[in-house]
């Protein structure tokens, strides 16, 4: 199987762990790509599966169709809440954390859920600590699911997934995210409880 990992961030411990899991089977080939993806590239590399891991671009419909919609995205929020950018930041505001893998559809973070697990994180933890907890949890969950997922993809069998609920959904606003982040003196090392206080203060100003 030819597997494409789409990632717009710098290399990280979690990306390396994901690559290691995907390389478990010697017959599989893993390719890392960070730029806007096009069908020409997918066809040339004969990609069978796409994994989006902190990728900032939308994936074109013709690309999804070519891989038979075998395209999955990691997203650290309790979907359908906090779709879009900075899910950990807004999960801290809501005090509701989760790790999730979902199918990629034509709309941002709206695809069916492959797995999702709620995670309790103490308010005295920082955003950075919360990020690491959620990343670690998502990799552990993926490792448990990978063998079965791979088998079903290879055999062209249906992969069980759950449709997201239409109620209680939200999209993260990039402008509001930047305003909130810029107000945090300690940035990503700000405690969750302080993020919530700062958000409430900003809301009063608008």
Cis ω before 142 (30° cut-off from 0) = no
**Predicted local confidence at residue 202, as pLDDT:** 86
Q: What is the percentage of the chain residues whose pLDDT exceeds 70?
A: 99
Number of domains in the chain: 1
Per-residue model confidence (pLDDT) at position 203: 83
Mean of all residue pLDDT scores within the chain:
94
N-terminal to C-terminal alpha carbon distance within the chain:
51
pLDDT above 70: residue 206: no
Q: Which residue has the tokens 């960070």?
A: 34
- Note down the domain range covering 196: 2-205
Q: What is the pLDDT of residue 167?
A: 76
The enclosing domain of 152 has a CATH number of 3.40.50.12230
**In whole angstroms, what is the distance from residue 7 CA to residue 121 CA?**
26
pLDDT (mean) for 2-25: 94
- What confidence category does residue 166 fall into, taking pLDDT thresholds of 50, 70 and 90? confident
Scanning 38-191, the segments in alpha helix (DSSP H) are 39-45, 61-66, 87-94, 127-154, 174-182
Q: Answer yes or no: is pLDDT of 17 > 90.
A: yes
> For the chain, where are the alpha helices, taking DSSP H only?
13-22, 39-45, 61-66, 87-94, 127-154, 174-182, 192-205
Mean pLDDT to the nearest integer, 90-96: 95
Cα 118 from chain centroid (whole Å): 14
Which tens digits make up the pLDDT trace of 23-38? 999 999 999 999 999 9
* Least confident residue range of 52-61, 80-89, 117-126, 161-170: 161-170
Per-residue pLDDT for 138 more than 70?
yes
Q: What is the model's pLDDT at position 11? A: 79
Q: What is the pLDDT of residue 71?
A: 97
CA max distance for the chain: 57
Whether this prediction's pTM lies above 0.85 is answered by yes
User: Nearest CA to 191 among 140, 122, 133?
Assistant: 122
And the tokens for 195? Answer: 């993020």
Q: Give the per-residue pLDDT at 76.
A: 97
Tens digits of residue pLDDT in 31-57: 999 999 999 999 999 999 999 999 999
């Amino acid at each position: 199987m030819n597997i494409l990992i789409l990632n717009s961030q710098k290399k990280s411990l979690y990306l390396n762990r994901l690559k290691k899991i995907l390389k478990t089977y010697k017959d599989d080939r893993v390719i890392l790509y960070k730029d806007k993806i096009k069908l020409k590239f997918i066809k040339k590399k004969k990609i069978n599966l796409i994994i989006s891991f902190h990728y900032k671009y939308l994936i074109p419909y013709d690309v999804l169709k070519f891989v038979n919609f075998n395209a999955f995205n990691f997203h650290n929020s309790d979907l359908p809440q906090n779709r879009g950018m900075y899910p950990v930041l807004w999960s801290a505001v809501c005090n509701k954390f989760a790790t999730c893998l979902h199918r990629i559809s034509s709309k941002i973070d709206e695809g069916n859920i492959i797995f999702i697990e709620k995670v309790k994180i103490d308010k005295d933890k920082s955003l950075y600590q919360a990020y690491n907890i959620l990343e670690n949890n998502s990799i552990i969950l993926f490792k448990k699911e990978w063998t079965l997922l791979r088998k079903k993809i290879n055999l062209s069998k249906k992969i069980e997934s759950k449709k997201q609920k239409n109620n209680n959904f939200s999209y993260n606003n990039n402008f509001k995210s930047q305003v909130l982040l810029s107000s945090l003196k300690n940035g990503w090392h700000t405690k969750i409880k302080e993020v919530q206080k700062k958000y409430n203060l900003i809301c009063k100003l608008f």
